[in-house]
Structure 1
Amino acid sequence: MQTLHFAYGQIKTDSLKYYSQIALNPQSPNDLDKAFQFYTAHYSKAQKENSKFLILNDLYYLSSLNYKKGAYEASENHALEAIKILDNSSESPYYTQLRKSVYTLLGILYYEQRNNAKALELYDRVLEITTNARDSAIVYNNISNIYKRDEDYENAKTQLLKAYAIIPRIKDKLSIARIKDNLGFIYSLLNNREKDLPLMTSALDLRDMARDTLSLYTSHSHLAHYFYDVDRLDKASHHALKAQEFATHINSPIYIHDALGMLTMLSSDTYAKTYKKLNDSLTNADKERASRDAFMKYDNAEFKRKALESQLKEEQQRTRSIIASIVAASIALIAILIYFILKSKHKKEKLQQVYDAESRISKQIHDEVANDVFQFMTKLESEALSNEHLIDELQDIYSKTRDISKEYSFIEGEGIFADTIKDLVLSFSDTSVRVLDKGRSDIAWETFSKMKRTTVYKVLQELLINMKKHSQASIAVLTFTKEGKKTIITYSDNGVGSDLNKSNGLQNVENRIESLNGTITFETEPNKGFKTKIVI
């Protein structure tokens, strides 16, 4: 079985690089122990420094080392701890490679503990996220070992042929040797004598050139079984002894146990063979019991991981819903604001159009009608006509024309607005009615825009015209006050009053005030005068 190795080169420390190499490929008796002591101490230091990157690195190597030492439970615990951290981390190329390595190592552990279903599930996960030929070939090799142990040699061959097909894309000679050796061994179990031994001897040559102790053990182990099956016991013993030599050299308990089992199989001692058979039975029973425990532990970790993923998805969905609601509410609010802004703008534009029209009417009446009448009156006077009654009528027409022009004229805006109001009040006072004003000088009229001042003027003018035409009042009062940011204007007279009926004049007053976003109220009853309150 073969694990995936990840890029320890991202860690710059030379000691980490050295110990990672001897942990993954031990070449001498003390390599595994030295690497185990180093990573145990380094893991403790990484935890104190709370360095997630180094913690994950150390957990992987401790899991791999414990597996090689035969401590399956400790190996599994370290691997599951690494997966727990990875599940709570953002994905990166390094973390993806590490996840593939840990999944592969767990798959090997569950294979050793006879939990084929979980081993295959983990290998499938690796294939889902792997992107290179070498890693895919390793997984195909490991899957084939599961079928091989169940004596399903055809499916084992199918997996290895997938790996063999991608050899041209693999540069690593040891990876190529692994594929050839495993495929050759499967052919031997299928009694394909044409292909089995050539593939295995080719793999042995590649491993000899690389002088890789761990893989040389595997080659000699396979060749020992092959020669035993073809009844070449001398060659079988030779390769079994070589396998035992390499297992002892790297001081790996699981490899030593396997090598001694082969030598016992080749022994002529009946007691030794009986002991081996019983020992294998007890070992398998222990592994199956450990597999059940591992199954529960892994499933519990998987349950927690899936629960966390589900919770995260719910939180993301809830967040998306909240954001969507906020966006929708914001759009609705902006639409309402735009509506009122456009409505207000439309009102102001309409009001400006009214003012423009009134100004044109005023100018046209004054320039064309009033002037013509005045010139006609002058002409009559110069010709010394005696029809004084006719002249008086024309004088009356001229006066009315002048008054209409004044009614629709714009104020110029120069000078003090309080004085403009005073002039307006005085123009409506005569022997029949007295118009008074209070507080006009207390208002900061200079803060009002020209249009706002014009609107106020037109409203007061409209109220006074209405008074002059309909109220029969002897006194009218305009009062100006300030309440916070609001300006209050009240009008009252002692006229005859009436049931409230908004004539065109009063309707114009209301429309003008609303265009300023102000309010206006009217109060009148027969014989109780007329009152108006304006708030702007």
Structure 2
Amino acid sequence: MQFVNGQVKNDSLKYYSQLALKPQRPDDLDKAFNYFQNHYENAAQNNKLSFVLNDLYYISSIHYKKGAYEASEDKALEAIKILDANLDYEKNTQLRKSFYTLLGLLYYEQRNQAKCLELYDRVLEITDNARDSAIVYNNISNIYRRDKNLIQAKAHLLKAYKVLPRLTDTLAIARILDNLGFVYSLLNESSKDLPLMQSALELREAKKDTTSLYTSYSHLAEYYYKVDSLDKSLKNALKAQEFANHINSPIYRHDALGMLTKLSKDSHAKAYKILNDSITNADKERASKDAFLKYDNSEFKRKALESQLKEEQQKTRTIIAVIAGAFITLVSIFIYFLLKSKHRKEKIQQVYDTESRISKQIHDEVANDVFQFMTKLESESLSNSHLIDDLQDIYSKTRDISKEHGSTEGDDLFEDVIKDLVLSFSNASTSVLAKGNADIDWESFSKMKRTTIYKVLQELLINMKKHSHASIAVLAFKNEGKKIVLNYSDNGVGCNLNKSTGLQNVENRIESLNGTITFETEPHKGFKTQIII
């Protein structure tokens, strides 16, 4: 999987990038490796950051495809270390996604499921487009499929399948169709399996992509073996071996020979395959422990560097605040802001009191009357059950309106109130995540301010549920000096920004707290909001 964009308009670079990503001949990977190794050494000598990072990605990727996992990991971690030292680099997030994903593939091969899932979760947190999300869901599915957790494998592939109409990458579409069909075959859902795998094969043949064609024929060989069509299984296994030899990939050649051995009638060959698989898996598990330590060490250094950077930024803000404070000497200005603040608080309190009063009135006078009427209808055994159902709907809507405009918290901590809000908007098709919630001292805020923040978050999630069709949404909280920053993002369909009543209410509420809010969205690029209070 590749997230890295071409960073220069250089014909040679584009040519060798294609050789590395989609090798078609036995010596393609070797040619690409020699080119990028030389290019990297020259870029490093001349301190060309973008070239260095781009070259490291391809070098690491080629090592991975040739089965040199330790060398691949070393190059990926070298790149992450450079990214940690250059947090303000404009492509930092984009490149970090690429290297996290590549490390995920490495640890997948080394049987380290926990570290794979951790890395892919990190990628999902910073992903803002449908293609990247679909590919990550596909990779997560592969982890669960190998561990024979086919229900989870299918669930994550269906998340990827859901965004197919928004994809234009033919090979990405083929990958999802092929894997979903293969999982269906393992679950014995025979009406769906073979058509999906054949559709994927047709897309790959149209693109003439040797690497992905190997995967199609390998899956078809497994499928026909499972349904006891051994002639067709052997035919597809031989095609898979042909493509594996053509691109000279040790990983693919090993897997292809394993399938052919399984099809062999020689009992000694089958016994050898079982023993060889056992030894190979044990070696990978031992290697995964070392990989775990290397990655954790890199993450520790990155977090320490980020902490140091935040501390320096805090010192800088403190110095600026002291200098600015020296110029605020006029008492009239101080009084002006004091009166303005008092007026604003009174206005917020009025809004809060009004909403609470309306909520109580709706619940006490309308919802209770409807509920009593429903009880009366049921006791009189009226035959019109539809009337009771309609009243039940009216009662539910009235209760929901009361809840939406009423008080957000009782004796619960506000941190738990936000957790409950996030959980209430999460379901099988949409994952809502909250980061940094526990780091905010919510109890230092007034109840009125907490209520306003809650309603803003609620409005953003309602807007997501109604309009964005997102599969993942993230609420991120962090302290910046005396202020808190709330970042919201989702990977939905996006739009040309036109503030609806809901978004206008969000803006008004934040302004009433003397905060700032910015919206960022474009069609097919998700929706983002930053709030500073």
TM-score by length of 2: 0.61
1:297-316: CA deviation from partner (whole Å, max 9, x where unpaired): 10011011111111111221
Q: C-alpha separation between the residues in 2 aligned to 1:84 and 1:281?
A: 35
Residue in structure 2 matched with residue 264 of structure 1 by the alignment: 261
2:26–2:245 CA contact under 8 A, matched in 1: yes
Among candidates 150, 155, 163, match of residue 153 of structure 1: 150
Please give the residue correspondences for 1:61-76 in structure 2 after superposition, counting only pairs within 5 Å: 61-76=58-73
Q: C-alpha separation between the residues in 2 aligned to 1:92 and 1:201?
A: 43
Q: C-alpha separation between the residues in 2 aligned to 1:199 and 1:166?
A: 16
Residue in structure 1 matched with residue 312 of structure 2 by the alignment: 315
Q: Which amino acid aligns with 1:7?
A: N
1:29–1:250 CA contact under 8 A, matched in 2: yes
Please give the residue correspondences for 1:346-357 in structure 2 after superposition, counting only pairs within 5 Å: none
Matched, 1:128 2:125: yes
Q: Which amino acid aligns with 2:41?
A: S
2:133–2:160 CA contact under 8 A, matched in 1: yes
Q: Which amino acid aligns with 1:123?
A: Y
Give the 3 Å change call, closer, same or farther, for CA 309–90 of structure 1 in structure 2: closer
Q: Which amino acid aligns with 1:120?
A: L
Q: C-alpha separation between the residues in 1 aligned to 2:303 and 2:67?
A: 30
Please give the residue correspondences for 1:492-531 in structure 2 after superposition, counting only pairs within 5 Å: none
Q: C-alpha separation between the residues in 2 aligned to 1:45 and 1:270?
A: 54
Structure 1 position 96, deviation (Å): 2.7
Q: C-alpha separation between the residues in 2 aligned to 1:271 and 1:90?
A: 56
Residue in structure 2 matched with residue 7 of structure 1 by the alignment: 5
Q: C-alpha separation between the residues in 2 aligned to 1:95 and 1:6?
A: 11
Q: C-alpha separation between the residues in 2 aligned to 1:25 and 1:31?
A: 9
Q: C-alpha separation between the residues in 2 aligned to 1:88 and 1:48?
A: 18
Q: Which amino acid aligns with 2:5?
A: A
Structure 2 residue matching 1:195: 3-state secondary structure: helix
Q: Which amino acid aligns with 1:101?
A: S
1:328-364: CA deviation from partner (whole Å, max 9, x where unpaired): 23435x88xxxxxxxxxxxxxxxxxxxxxxxxxxxxx
1:69-110: CA deviation from partner (whole Å, max 9, x where unpaired): 000011011111111111222456644322211111111101
2:104–2:119 CA contact under 8 A, matched in 1: yes
Structure 1 position 268, deviation (Å): 1.0
Q: Which amino acid aligns with 1:168?
A: P
1:394-451: CA deviation from partner (whole Å, max 9, x where unpaired): xxxxxxxxxxxxxxxxxxxxxxxxxxxxxxxxxxxxxxxxxxxxxxxxxxxxxxxxxx
Q: C-alpha separation between the residues in 1 aligned to 2:221 and 2:284?
A: 25
Structure 1 position 327, deviation (Å): 2.3
* Identity across the alignment (%): 69
Matched, 1:181 2:181: no
Q: C-alpha separation between the residues in 2 aligned to 1:214 and 1:134?
A: 19
Matched, 1:88 2:82: no
Structure 1 position 116, deviation (Å): 0.9
Structure 1 position 323, deviation (Å): 2.1
Please give the residue correspondences for 1:417-496 in structure 2 after superposition, counting only pairs within 5 Å: none
1:222-269: CA deviation from partner (whole Å, max 9, x where unpaired): 011111111111111111110000000000111111111111111111
Structure 1 position 217, deviation (Å): 0.2
Matched, 1:241 2:207: no
RMSD of equivalent CA atoms: 1.5
Residue in structure 2 matched with residue 393 of structure 1 by the alignment: none
* More off after superposition, 287-296 vs 97-106: 97-106
2:181–2:197 CA contact under 8 A, matched in 1: yes
Residue in structure 2 matched with residue 35 of structure 1 by the alignment: 32
Q: C-alpha separation between the residues in 2 aligned to 1:242 and 1:95?
A: 41
Please give the residue correspondences for 1:366-385 in structure 2 after superposition, counting only pairs within 5 Å: none
Give the 3 Å change call, closer, same or farther, for CA 91–164 of structure 1 in structure 2: farther
1:4–1:135 CA contact under 8 A, matched in 2: no
2:4–2:54 CA contact under 8 A, matched in 1: no
Among candidates 87, 105, 109, match of residue 108 of structure 1: 105
2:234–2:263 CA contact under 8 A, matched in 1: yes
Residue in structure 1 matched with residue 53 of structure 2 by the alignment: 56
Q: Which amino acid aligns with 1:312?
A: L
Structure 1 position 63, deviation (Å): 0.5
Give the 3 Å change call, closer, same or farther, for CA 91–243 of structure 1 in structure 2: farther
Among candidates 274, 278, 283, match of residue 275 of structure 2: 278
Matched, 1:208 2:205: yes
Q: C-alpha separation between the residues in 2 aligned to 1:225 and 1:319?
A: 61
Q: C-alpha separation between the residues in 2 aligned to 1:209 and 1:330?
A: 70
1:4–1:138 CA contact under 8 A, matched in 2: no
1:67–1:109 CA contact under 8 A, matched in 2: yes
2:240–2:256 CA contact under 8 A, matched in 1: yes
Residue in structure 2 matched with residue 437 of structure 1 by the alignment: none
TM-score by length of 1: 0.60
Matched, 1:325 2:322: yes
Q: Which amino acid aligns with 2:4?
A: F
Structure 1 residue matching 2:328: 3-state secondary structure: helix
Q: C-alpha separation between the residues in 2 aligned to 1:93 and 1:284?
A: 40
Structure 2 residue matching 1:12: 3-state secondary structure: coil
Question: Structure 2 unaligned runs (5+)?
Answer: 332-533
1:7–1:94 CA contact under 8 A, matched in 2: no
Q: C-alpha separation between the residues in 2 aligned to 1:182 and 1:22?
A: 24
Aligned length: 332
1:107–1:119 CA contact under 8 A, matched in 2: yes
Q: Which amino acid aligns with 1:213?
A: T
Give the 3 Å change call, closer, same or farther, for CA 183–214 of structure 1 in structure 2: same
Q: C-alpha separation between the residues in 2 aligned to 1:258 and 1:43?
A: 32
